[in-house]
Amino acid sequence: MKTKLFNLTIVALILGGFWNYFTLHRPITEVLIDPETAKQIEIRVHYQWLFNVNNIVLDLRRVSPEIKAARMTRLLVDVSKQLRNKSFSHLILAYDGDSKFMLDGRYVRDLADSPQSLLSIMSTMPPRVLNLEGDPVFRGANHGGLSIVEELNDADQFHSQWYGGSR
């Protein structure tokens, strides 16, 4: 009985891996990662714990020090465009397998169609960043009217805490 359960578990994990690869990882990385970027960024995209379709994980495995926060923000916008038709609660932002932050799924889908400039997205994203318990990490403009410099400093802190990047 134990070996049968073990074998079923192994089969489920293998099927889950294939499902994640063909429904999320491959379609997103084929569109987003050109050969030049692939030398600088390695990402994995999968459902949380392979089967939890409510949460999608964007896991940065390798980020070159030359990559700036603006490029990573552009990557988040591009990922949101690929996920716009999927229904999920949160996009979990991870680095090297370690979950760091979350973005609300509705915000991620709205980001796909946002007419804002990249600078505007960079400065307004940090207040939308949640810790893993779902609480905001950065105070944002709606808590005292931050200047653009303060907003961009929050953006720097966000990228630094996520994967060690900067503007």
- pTM here is 0.85
pLDDT tens for each residue of 3-13 = 888 777 787 77
**pLDDT higher at 148 or 97:** 97
Mean pLDDT of the chain: 85
Classified as helix, coil or strand, 58 is strand
Tell me which long-range contacts 35-38 makes (C-beta under 8 A, separation of at least 24).
none
How many domains, in total, are found in the chain?
Answer: 1
- What sign for the dihedral angle of Cα 25, 29, 35, 39? negative
Which residues are within 8 A (CB) of 70 and not within 5 positions of it... i.e. 6 or more apart?
Answer: 118, 119, 122, 167
Residue 106: which domain range? 2-163
What are 111's two structure tokens?
């980001």
Q: How confident is the model at residue 14 (pLDDT cuts 50, 70, 90)?
A: confident
Q: Report how far residue 105's alpha carbon sits from residue 103's, in angstroms, rounded to the nearest whole number.
A: 6
pLDDT tens for each residue of 103-159 = 999 999 999 888 888 888 988 899 999 999 999 998 765 555 557 778 888 889 999
Contact assessment for residue 77 and residue 121, using Cβ atoms and an 8 Å cutoff: yes
